Amino acid sequence: MNFFKKISKIHFIVFASIVIILIVLRLALPFIVKNYLNKELAEMGSYKGHIEDVDIALIRGAYVIKGLKIDKSSGEIPVPFLIAPKIDLSIEWAALLKGSVKAKVIFKKPVLTFVSGPTKETSQTGVGTDWTKPLHKLLPIDINKLEIHDGKIKYKDFHSTPKVNMYINQVELVATNLSNVENKEQVLPSDVTMSGTSIGEGKLSITGKINVLKEVPDADMNMELINVNLVSVNDLVRAYGKFDFKKGTMDVFSEMTLKNNGNVDGYVKPILMKVEIFDWKEDGNLVQTLWQAAMGTTFAIFKNFPKEQFATKIPVKGNIDQKIEPELFPAFLGVLKNAFVEAYKKSLDNSVSFTENTDEKKKTLLFFNKKKEK
């Protein structure tokens, strides 16, 4: 009898010890993960990162990263590249039911800031760093669904006169099937939708399909930015164009494909409505007054009078490994076409396809080629 009591006592001690060890490990796990991640994020080429805290939710198979901050290592930029107050990584049950262990990631209120400067040290674009390594450390399970809620994207130039501060607020993004759990035969298996509100209360909408499983992703994206108040972008226009808008609105439409190891093909179609240029005569600057007058005359002469719009269609073509510049001569022809032949429609043209050759369609950019269907 004493023997069995002794055995039971030993079992209890062993069980209690295991429980205590597990509790200690559970309590220590967030600190272990936090220190590990901060060590990995400390050096990321031109950038460095830090997190404030980590929460572990074992029951739902998730963990939460709090206070992620990524800065440019040069120290010459006063704003972080990325701030993410909360990142929730959890098992995606929809993928698990299909036999794949994949993750769903939710970013809450992230802020991504791009900065333009005269040198690489004073610029912040994210280029030049392999983001796959720190991303895999932060999110060790393959991501199948990505969500962003109430995010912000900013563009700043601290060296221009005046300083430029552009932004898109209320960014909502959903990307699904990133690991290609479904639709395995499709070339572009993942769906992406994004919305937001720009400076000047413009409404942004982006839809498309992508394949992120390739070393250089493929994509087919459409973008619409509607009803931007042009007066709100005067800091940008004054800094880079040296004139001001007195009134007017702008819509922007774009279709873009990325395929065959980074080849970009598409267009950007800006349409400016009821534009008036601010009169600078009162400040006594003759050069500025002449330039403002020239810009005002340009908008007045080359607008489509029945539609009260100044517009063009700018082809964009190249490879992401090289500098991609818009094609200026076709853009000028687009201005002429809109003004004197046929006004551009305030909609997507459906002239760019991921699978088709659109060279013939793009010939409609020439102002003397009217549409055949009437």
Q: Where are the domains of the chain?
A: 30-182, 208-374
**Cα Rg of the chain, angstroms:** 27
- Kindly report which listed range (148-152, 247-251, 257-261) carries the lowest average pLDDT score: 257-261
In this prediction, residue 358 carries a pLDDT of 42
Average pLDDT score over residue span 153-159: 96
255 pLDDT band, cuts 50/70/90, is very high
Residue of 102, 106, 67, 96 whose CA lies nearest to 84: 67
Quick one: DSSP state of residue 341?
I
Contacts 24+ apart (CB under 8 A), 169-176: 169/196, 169/197, 169/198, 170/195, 170/196, 170/197, 171/195, 171/196, 172/148, 172/196, 173/146, 173/147, 173/148, 174/145, 174/146, 174/147, 174/148, 175/145, 175/146, 175/147, 175/210, 176/144, 176/145
Q: What is the pTM of this model?
A: 0.82
Question: Percent of the chain having pLDDT more than 70?
Answer: 81
Assess contact for 312 and 342: CB atoms under 8 A: no
Question: What digits encode the pLDDT tens for the residues 75-87?
Answer: 789 999 999 999 9
pLDDT of 86-139, one tens digit each? 999 888 766 665 666 788 899 999 999 999 999 888 999 887 677 777 777 777
pLDDT at 297: 86
Place of tokens 């990584």: 89
Count of beta carbons in the 10 Å neighbourhood of residue 231 = 16
The DSSP secondary structure of 129-160, one letter per residue, reads: S-THHHHHHHS-SPEEEEEEEEEEEEEEESSS
pLDDT band at 10 (very low <50, low <70, confident <90, very high): low
Reduced 3-state DSSP string for 71-135: EECCCCCCCCCEEEEEEEEEECHHHHCCCCCCEEEEEECCEEEEECCCCCCCCECCCCCCCHHHH
- On whether the CB atoms of residues 62 and 89 are closer than 8 A, the answer is yes
Q: In terms of pLDDT, which residue wins out, 150 or 328?
A: 150
Of the pLDDT bands very low, low, confident and very high (cuts 50, 70, 90), residue 56 is confident
Alpha-carbon gap, residue 134 to 138, rounded angstroms: 6
Q: Is the pLDDT of residue 149 over 90?
A: yes
> Which of the four pLDDT bands, split at 50, 70 and 90, describes residue 14?
low
- Contact call for residues 200 and 229 (beta carbons, < 8 A): yes
What integer best gives the mean pLDDT of the chain? Answer: 83
pLDDT(9) > 90? no
How many helices (H) and strands (E) the chain has is answered by 7, 15
DSSP 261: T
Please report which confidence band the pLDDT of residue 202 belongs to, taking 50, 70 and 90 as the band edges.
Answer: very high
Most confident of 91-100, 208-217, 244-253, 324-333: 244-253
Contact 303, 310 (CB under 8 A): yes
The token duo for 362 is: 């793009």
Q: What is the mean pLDDT of residues 222-229?
A: 97
Categorize the per-residue pLDDT at 334 as very low, low, confident or very high, splitting at 50, 70 and 90.
very high
| Residue of 353 and 141 predicted with greater confidence | 353
Given a cut of 60, whether residue 283 has pLDDT beyond it is: no
**Helices marked H in the chain:** 2-41, 93-96, 132-138, 234-241, 286-301, 328-336, 359-362
Higher pLDDT, 179 or 209: 209
Q: What is the pLDDT of residue 5?
A: 55
Highest mean pLDDT among 121-125, 218-222, 315-319, 328-332: 218-222
